Amino acid sequence: MRGSKFLTVVGLLTIAALVLAACQPATVEVTRIVTEEKEVEVTRIVAGTPVVEVVTATPAPAEEAEVTYPRNETLYTSGKQWGPPTSWNPLQPGSYAMGVIGLCNETLFLYDPLKNEYIPWLAESGDWVGDNVYEVKLRQGVQWSDGEPFTSADVVYTFELGKLDGVYYKPLWDWLDKVEAVDEYTVQFTFKEVRYQEWGNTLYSVAMVPKHLWEGRSEEDIVNGDNLPPVGTGAYLYETHSEDRMVWKRNEGWWAKDALGLSVGPKYIVDIVNPSNNVALGLFLKGEMDLSNNFLPGIATLVEGGYGVQTWYDDPPYMLSANTAFLFMNTTKKPMDDPAFRKAMAYAVDVDEIVTKVYGNIVQKCNPTGLLPVWEQYVDQDVVDELGFTYDPDKARSILAEAGYQDVDGDGFVEAPDGSKIELKIIVPFGWTDWMESIKVVANGAQAVGINLQPDFPDFGGYWDQLTGGTFDMAINNFGSNMSDTPWTFYFWLFRNPITDVMSNGNFGRYDNPEVFDLVVELDKTPIDPEAMKPVIAEIQRIQLTDMPAVPLWYNGLWAQWNSTYWTNWPSAQEGAPKYLPCTWNGYWNMTAILMLTELEPVQ
Amino acid sequence: MRRYLGRKLLIYLLTFFVAVTIDWLIPRFMPGNPVDTMLARMALRADSAEVLRSYYIRAFKLDLPLWQQYLNFWAALFRGDLGISTWLFPQPVFQIIKRAVPYDLFLLLPAIILSWIAGNRVGAIAARVRWLDNTILPLGYILTASPYMWLAIVLAWALGNVAGIFPIAGAYGFGLRPHLSWLFIKDLLWHWFLPFSSLFLVMFGGWAIGMRNMIIYELESEYSRYLESLGTPQRLIRKYAFRNAMLPQITGLALQLGGIVAGALATEIVFAYPGIGYMILNAVQNQDYFLIQGCFLFIITGVLLANFIIDLVYIVVDPRTRLGMTGE
Amino acid sequence: MLKLDGVSKVYRVGTFGGKELHAVSNVSFEVPDGEVVSLIGESGSGKTTIGRMILRLTPITSGTISFNGVDISTLQGEALKDYYRQVQGVFQDPFSSYNPIFKADRIFRIVREEFFPGMKDQEWNGKLEDSLKAVGLNPAHVLNKFPHQLSGGQLQRFLIARALLLDIQFLVADEIISMLDASTRIDVLNLLADLKESRGLSILFITHDLSLGYYISEHAVILYRGCVVEMGSTDRLYNTPLHPYTRMLMAAVPRLDKKWEKVEVELRGKQSQITTGCVYYDRCPEAERSADCLTHRPPLVQVEDDHFVACSRYME
Amino acid sequence: MSLQVENLTVYYRTLRGDVQALENATFTIADGEIMGLAGESGCGKTTLGHSLIYLKPPMRFIEGRVTLDNEELPIWDMERMNEFRFKKISIIPQYAMNAMNPTRKIGKMTAEILESRKVSYKATLPELKRRLDLVELSHDVLNMYPIELSGGMKQRMVMVLSTLLNPSLLIADEITSALDVSTQKAVAEMLVGFRDRGFVKSLMVITHDISILYQIADSIMIMYAGQLAEKASTQVIIHNPRHPYTKMLIGSLPKVGVKHSKQRLAGIPGKPPLLLNPPVGCRFRERCPVAFDKCFDVPPFIEIEPGHFVACWKEFESNA
Amino acid sequence: MAQERPKEVRSEFLYFALRNRKLRVGLGILVFFLLFAIIGPFLTEYDPNTYAGPSAQPPSSEFWFGTTTFGQDVYSQFAHGLRSTFIVGLIGGGIGTLVGVVIGLLAGYRGGMVDEILNMLTNIVLIIPTLSVLIIIAAYLAVRGILTESVFIGLTAWPWAARAIRAQTFSLRTREFVDLARMSGRSSLRIVFTEIAPNMMSYLFLVFILQFGGAILNAATLDFIGLGPTRGMSLGLMMNNAVLWAALQLGMWWWLIPPGAAIAAIVGALYVMNVGLDEVFNPKLREM
């Protein structure tokens, strides 16, 4: 048959095309990896045809480049990567592939939110040596993966990069004066203005880049280049990537082995680009995924149902809390400009219903301050007792009534004190189903107390436009309330100022109160010491709960579920288990997730 | 003949122009803009976000007047520059598409061609075998009427999760590194099978039904009657009928191409297959103008090209177009 | 009186009209009042196109068609409607002339709606009955039926009746009997002839059959490939056909009184387009044509009273 | 006797019951005879022609016996008839213009048809070319697609193709009606030539145009409403018809040299009966000017003089 | 020659229509679902979106089709979704047919330049992948309803219909009865709609059926990929939600299977009807 011959040809051609395509990721320049101990291994794949060359520098058994990753040496993860990995540039916080900061490029410190501790990492120590001078002593013997030593020049270079347009930590230089290398392993930072909180945050979030490789690059390349293959000091080396995965391979010459006696368990980490929930759950249940940081609805059933699925807690809320979902109200619009109205809203929302029905108990109801459990110590219980709120429709009704909101025309909904009708919309992005379901609950609660609030689901673009442009009525958002080393980041987001036409991230409701803005600045300038911080925070909380510019609703979980079929000794709340964050998201590797890897053990 | 092709080419060029313009135009009228969406995703601290916002708006030249952006777009297009994706920053759109397209071709070409061939054969047989007509055809109707993604999900669940025979995601095993070996190719095909099947089945149903109906028309035609009255065996009559019934099916193939894009998109999403279907959806959701443009540019070019090829094929197989095309 | 003066029809074919097809070339003749003129030619001769141009169904490329001295190509709106009051046509395929999903008498209703909007039912019914009777139909038998319930002959009469409703002066009858059975053909033909007699109707009788033309008309025009090759009184044409084409046609007509002569009919060469020279050149018997015929198209010249021919042999 | 048809009755199945399209036809065609079959539309002449070679639903065989060259034709059996088709009995269909596969080159199609009937194309090719010459078709047509041929050319091609295996009987169904007079004449004469050259033994020419038959046929059979009315030699039918229908039919034909103003011809009033429920007896009765009581019985088709068959009671009476 | 024609054309169609198994089966399924869509929503007390009961319940006498992850009544969602499916089919298919008919008739009847332009337009819209345009449009409309979705689906679906109708019109406009109407002084527009269009009725009906089915499938795809109506309930949205909440993986087959099966059944029934009608309208295809 002519047809079948044709088919064969088509088939062969497509397969050939695909193999070529799949092999594309490997067509990177020659990757030269020199570990301090033994061999040089060069894996070179040209135009899709793998040619494996092993060049031995020092006599050592040649290791074949592996084409399969042995299951018991590989950790499969998912949850961070929402699209194909495209950048390995740690200066691109929104784009870099899973693990670039943390697995490859490391920070000076780690931060452990569970213990509220900074862990010296590339730095051996850091101290204020003057009123406005901070000195970092670097760890000696740290090497970049190409064999060059990591020195203070790299640190200075990395921070100096922040002067470039398009580098996210540029604002640092508003208050940082200069960075100097005192010696090869000492760096001094001199500040124009000391912001302790922000500095602490910076210390564990800015990842070091190798000066010797980067200094030859153009500014364009530094800011917009993909930095492939990445060279870092971290525990893992770039292995390969493709449209649906990012693969890291253990760096056998990782400095922490000698310095800290740490070694990471998995030889390979394969991070799978987030498929749909449906597929993610399917892969997870099939045991093809070890750690999932996806939001997997219904996971509670699986934890309880004996599917071998584990989470941080064995019981609700199952997950650690990672950020706070706020109900933002546009205070530039009536009636949201009225604190009484906002307060009534706070009482009208049945968060428990959201927690149980929408999330199946994998999230937790908020503390009225919205502060995450890791910041529990900063919650001023007196303020909360006095001004806190809870779900209470009657109270909501009475607040409304007292403030003059009455149902004048008898349509079941209250009118504003001036008699004008109230018709409000609450928005979340279409497709964000958990939020979509949640605002239905919010709207129902509001309607039950007589506020005509309807849920609406514009596309993300429309949602974000309304939110940042200040044209929305009410909305849910949590984008800046993430877990960090300091509640200052939380308040900096919640009370972002000044109020401008476009609020890029934070204070979407445009709550304008210089008093609280000043307090946030004051907090920033307070040294990292809970006892010093608490009074300032209490003051903020008092204003927050009095004016109620935004209503904290629930804590979104640090979605993490794993199964122990291939890897064990996962961190969890269980006694004896390691207490590190089991999370692959950006910013979590340096919040102890890397230490989780050092604890993982293959199942025998 | 030249004139015919010239006319077709003109239509294609016009279509290309219009399609690309629409493609350029529409995302720019969406609410929001790519930089804001990109920054929203980064969830940066507000001060950092503000710094980057102004930087990126300049970098992506979104501060220029629209007409200038449009001209720049065409100018860049002729240089083969599709811009840089905001969603998959900092990859050039061209690179992204180049990497994704082989998967689409691998999935779509066999699905389209095999379903077309198989559908036509089965349809042709069904047209004369009563029991097939009564069994395969109803099945064909159901298949072709099934939403692609629904069938795909059910297949994935039944054969992937419940039966555990096939993998449910990815283009090849996550524990494999691409290389040339049977192991890898086998794995590639193994992963390909389900997404391919879901596309194949839906299209197969459509072709089978179409072919059956066409064949019945052809078997009733006068040349078939003449052959019968010359005592020609059914074999030859059916052969002719089949051949001639193929012709409208070829046109049908051209008409279907646009719809197949939709099917591929849904299927790739369901099976997390790394083609451009998944890209498009995310590009739209992330308002990545440049990637949206790139993907559609590719699809439009692909569909136009396929149409053109089909036009050429048609000229070869149907003498009527070849001889009648000058309109004399 | 209907007059064609140098009428041509050129079709543009191919993409964006790249090529020209001369369907009718420079045709002039006239149909006097109360006369039947036959327009005779084979398929592709342009006879139907001429009929359609007269009926304003196809635009004229060049030349003029005038009816009672008025150039019909300029007619628009009411004037055109007025023209249709006087000039109508009947076509070859009786079944195709009716919209198959409607009843046959719908054609009358359309006429009434368009031309007699104010007429009372009774008056109209009377008028309709007269018309039907005039074409030899019994209204009771033929009204309120679907086209397929009537015979071809009845349908053609219907169409003639429709034309009569308008009190027409001129009828284009395009092969109206070629699809009818032999037994009814002659009746329709007779009807036309009678209408000419009784109403003074002018008829352009388009046919490919010389004997029918002879039967009904005083004058005939012979068309070949869009050109008039011979015309004049039917008697003269029959008795002394001058153009080789006319003679060939005469010889090819199957007659009941005479068997065909053994003259080979030249079948080749019917395909090519001829731009210069005699249109009949490639089919003309060798003996009768000259090299000149290939380069010069002979004009239509009068050879005797009421007899014109376009052949180089009769040029002087 | 080349063809013998006895009591052939064929109906058409329709929703409303059987259309009695052909009733009790009995006739013969002699070797070398060109028989014309004429009548008005719907008289059953095509049904008769088709039933001899291609009897397929909705046509329904009722009864009758057909022998060709002393061999009975299983006309009711589509399968078994295949043996005879093309080789013994062949047809030039009315739709000859569309009879060829539009997407095959004519030569190739011919080859495939021949090979499918186990006849070597190669061996036949010289003869095929000879016959193409005969019908004035260039050999190039074998390399052409049907669309490249004019109507008349396709007609001639089908003529050649249908007769290529020298069948005993050829049925030519309305093959001249769509043609110009000039082509008509050529095609008709070619048919005669085919017979003369022995490509076909005998011919049944179905047409509504009696004047064509007068030119080429040896005998003419007239049908009316599914029944045979008269059969005789051409001369007799044209000049000395006996059946009233034949007479009227011939009388209604325009003749060259007859002018309306001088000699007014007349048609046959009325129209043929519907064959779903045909009238009993002679079906022409209602239109017949000489009908009488006897005509309520079906008149037999009787040979009133050698080679002249008529089905008319009046005629039998006057003869008797 | 020609066989006798049956007396009444219309009753003949009816006769075959009633006896055509495909048509009967297809129509039966369609009517069943249509009735379901009309009556179904009244048989449940639950709103499709309220949390009516315990979550993830299998079908029971209380919740006929079970409940979703949130305890919504799947039956109610299904019934309401079915309704919007028919609405999308009617409006989307209707618009697709209407635009196709108008453009096809116009191009086919006027010919010449009008035809050239319309034909080019048709070809352009035909080649541009519909779904891609729909996706962009859908994304452009921040808030979408079922109606807007239907309209846009209709507005992108017409080209093949226009093409087919143009071809039909071409063959019809040369028929003599059109000439006759012109010779009666009828306006072109009137001729198109009173002479030509009625002759294509059966064909238009087939076109509408296919457009109807196509619109439903298109809507389902759009809904599924999350670009469906942001308000209201549809079968596609149900599937979208079921997948987003991993219904099958969590064993809630009752959430995903019914909407997809219903779409397949409805569209399948339409296709079967289409073939059945084709056989009714086209005597050649009738089984005797």
Q: What is the pLDDT of residues B149-168, one digit of tens each?
A: 888 888 888 888 888 888 88
- Quote the number of domains for chain C: 2
- Given this model, what pLDDT does residue A34 score? 35
Range of the domain at E219: 24-38+73-285
C14/B3 CB distance under 8 A:
yes
- Given this model, what pLDDT does residue A450 score? 92
A480/B55 CB distance under 8 A:
no
The rounded distance, in Å, linking the Cα atoms of E126 and B256 is 10
B150/E239 CB distance under 8 A:
yes
ipTM for the predicted complex: 0.80
List all residues of chain B from 82 to 141 with a beta carbon under 8 Å from chain A: 84-85, 87-91, 96, 99-103, 105-106, 109-110, 113-114, 117
Say if residues A327 and A349 touch (Cβ distance below 8 Å): yes
Q: Is E62 a member of any domain? A: no
Q: Is E261 a member of any domain? A: yes
How distant, in Å, are the alpha carbons of D174, D201, D207, E196 from that of D212?
11, 20, 8, 39
List the single range of A46-60, A299-313, A363-377, C151-165 with lowest mean pLDDT: A46-60
- Given this model, what pLDDT does residue A63 score? 43
| Structural domain ending residue among the three candidates C233, C260, C278 | C233
- The DSSP H or E segment spanning B4 is helix B2-25
Q: Which two tokens stand for residue B22?
A: 């629409």
- Given this model, what pLDDT does residue E169 score? 86
Band of pLDDT at residue A51, cut at 50, 70 and 90: very low
- Given this model, what pLDDT does residue A38 score? 34
Q: What is the pLDDT of residues D232-262, one digit of tens each?
A: 999 999 999 999 999 988 888 877 777 877 7
Q: How many CB pairs under 8 A join A and B?
A: 257
- A587 compared with A475, residue with greater pLDDT: A475
- Given this model, what pLDDT does residue A492 score? 93
Q: Is B40 a member of any domain? A: no
Strand order in the sheet with C19-31: C19-31, C2-13, C62-67, C70-71
Three-state SS at A485: coil
- E145 pLDDT higher than 90: no
Q: Which two tokens stand for residue A581?
A: 């964050």
3-state SS string over A502-515? CCCCCCCCCCCCHH
- A4 pLDDT higher than 80: no
Three-state SS at B102: helix
- Quote the number of domains for chain E: 1
Q: Does E148 reach chain A within 8 Å, measured CB to CB?
A: no
- A29 pLDDT higher than 80: no
Q: Does A46 reach chain B within 8 Å, measured CB to CB?
A: no
Count of other CB atoms within 10 angstroms of residue E276: 21
Range of the domain at C144: 2-233
Q: Highest-confidence range of A187-201, B104-118, C230-244, E101-115, by mean pLDDT?
A: A187-201
Q: Is B291 a member of any domain? A: yes
Kindly report the backbone phi and psi dihedral angles of residue A206, in degrees, each rounded to the nearest multiple of 5, phi listed first. Answer: -90, 125
Contacts of B204 (CB under 8 A, 6+ apart): B115, B118, B119, B122, B140, B143, B144
The CATH number assigned to the domain holding E267 equals 1.10.3720.10
Helices D121-134 & D106-116 angle (0-180, nearest 10):
130
Residue type, C288: E
Clarify whether residues C229 and C249 are in a common domain.
no
B284/E271 CB distance under 8 A:
no
Q: Is E141 a member of any domain? A: yes
- Given this model, what pLDDT does residue B54 score? 86
- A65 pLDDT higher than 60: no
- Given this model, what pLDDT does residue D92 score? 92
Say if residues B104 and B169 touch (Cβ distance below 8 Å): no
Q: Is B296 a member of any domain? A: yes
Clarify whether residues C29 and C78 are in a common domain.
yes
Range of the domain at B155: 93-326
Residue A37: which of A328, A209, A252 has the closest Cα? A252
Kindly report the backbone phi and psi dihedral angles of residue B194, in degrees, each rounded to the nearest multiple of 5, phi listed first. Answer: -65, -50
Clarify whether residues C57 and C186 are in a common domain.
yes
Clarify whether residues C126 and C158 are in a common domain.
yes
Count of other CB atoms within 10 angstroms of residue A479: 21
Q: What is the pLDDT of residues A118-156, one digit of tens each?
A: 999 999 999 999 999 999 999 999 999 999 999 999 999
Nearest CB among A277, A353, A459 relative to E245 is that of: A277
Clarify whether residues C256 and C227 are in a common domain.
no
Clarify whether residues C168 and C195 are in a common domain.
yes
∠ at Cα E105 (E102, E109), nearest 5°?
A: 140
Say if residues C38 and C234 touch (Cβ distance below 8 Å): yes
- Given this model, what pLDDT does residue A17 score? 58
- Given this model, what pLDDT does residue C228 score? 92
A278/E231 CB distance under 8 A:
no
Q: What is the pLDDT of residues E76-85, one digit of tens each?
A: 889 999 998 9
Band of pLDDT at residue A48, cut at 50, 70 and 90: very low
Clarify whether residues C120 and C37 are in a common domain.
yes
E246/A278 CB distance under 8 A:
yes
Q: Which chain D residues have any C-beta within 8 angstroms of a chain C C-beta?
A: 40-41, 136, 150, 152, 180-186, 188-189, 208-212, 214-215, 238, 248-250, 252-261, 264-268, 271
Q: What is the pLDDT of residues D192-201, one digit of tens each?
A: 999 999 899 9
Residue type, D244: P
The rounded distance, in Å, linking the Cα atoms of B205 and B136 is 9
- Given this model, what pLDDT does residue B105 score? 85
Chain-wide mean pLDDT for chain A? Answer: 86
Please report where in the chains the tokens 């009569």 appear, as a residue.
C164
Clarify whether residues C80 and C207 are in a common domain.
yes
All structural domains of chain A? 5-58+70-92+231-307+560-602 (3.40.190.10), 109-224 (3.90.76.10), 321-547 (3.10.105.10)
Chain-wide mean pLDDT for chain E? Answer: 81
Chain Cα centroid distance, residue E167: 22
- A369 pLDDT higher than 90: yes
- A24 pLDDT higher than 60: no
| Structural domain ending residue among the three candidates C215, C233, C251 | C233
Q: What is the pLDDT of residues B19-63, one digit of tens each?
A: 888 878 877 777 777 888 888 877 788 888 888 888 888 888 888
% of chain D at pLDDT higher than 70: 99
- A42 pLDDT higher than 80: no
**pTM of structure:** 0.82
Q: Which chain E residues have any C-beta within 8 angstroms of a chain D C-beta?
A: 1-4, 6-7, 12, 15, 288
- Given this model, what pLDDT does residue D164 score? 92
The CATH number assigned to the domain holding B166 equals 1.10.3720.10
Q: Is E45 a member of any domain? A: no
Clarify whether residues C106 and C83 are in a common domain.
yes
Q: Is E159 a member of any domain? A: yes
Band of pLDDT at residue A162, cut at 50, 70 and 90: very high
Tens of pLDDT along chain B (328 residues) come to: 666 777 778 878 888 888 888 878 877 777 777 888 888 877 788 888 888 888 888 888 888 888 888 898 888 888 888 888 888 888 888 888 888 888 888 888 888 889 999 998 888 888 878 788 777 778 888 888 888 888 888 888 888 888 888 888 888 888 888 777 888 888 888 889 999 998 898 888 888 888 888 888 888 888 998 999 898 898 899 889 888 888 888 888 877 777 777 778 888 888 888 888 878 878 877 778 888 888 888 888 888 888 888 888 877 777 776 665 433 2
List the single range of D289-293, E206-210, E225-229 with lowest mean pLDDT: E225-229
The CATH number assigned to the domain holding C72 equals 3.40.50.300
Chains that touch A (3 or more CB pairs under 8 A): B, E
Say if residues A436 and A428 touch (Cβ distance below 8 Å): yes
Q: Is E147 a member of any domain? A: yes
Q: Which of C13, C15, C19, C273 to mutate to test the interface with B (most CBs of B within 10 A)?
A: C15
- A9 compared with B239, residue with greater pLDDT: B239
- Given this model, what pLDDT does residue A185 score? 94
Kindly report the backbone phi and psi dihedral angles of residue A87, in degrees, each rounded to the nearest multiple of 5, phi listed first. Answer: -140, 140
- A11 compared with A453, residue with greater pLDDT: A453
How distant, in Å, are the alpha carbons of A381, A385, A546, A548 from that of A542?
11, 11, 6, 10
The rounded distance, in Å, linking the Cα atoms of D107 and A119 is 90
E contacts of C101 (beta carbons < 8 Å): 9, 198-199, 201
Q: Which of A74, A277, A281, A464 to mutate to test the interface with B (most CBs of B within 10 A)?
A: A464
- Quote the number of domains for chain B: 1
- Given this model, what pLDDT does residue C157 score? 87
Q: Is B21 a member of any domain? A: no
C contacts of E195 (beta carbons < 8 Å): 99
Span D208-217, average pLDDT: 88
Contacts of E90 (CB under 8 A, 6+ apart): E150, E212
Band of pLDDT at residue E143, cut at 50, 70 and 90: low
Expressed in angstroms, the distance from the first to the final Cα of chain E is 20
Q: Does B162 reach chain A within 8 Å, measured CB to CB?
A: no
Band of pLDDT at residue A8, cut at 50, 70 and 90: low
E230/A430 CB distance under 8 A:
yes
Count of other CB atoms within 10 angstroms of residue A332: 14
What is the least distance, in Å, from the CA of B324 to any CA of chain C? 10
| Structural domain ending residue among the three candidates C233, C260, C285 | C233
Q: Does B261 reach chain E within 8 Å, measured CB to CB?
A: yes
Span A311-330, average pLDDT: 92
Q: Is E46 a member of any domain? A: no
* Residues of chain C with confidence (pLDDT) below 70: 13-19, 262-275, 316
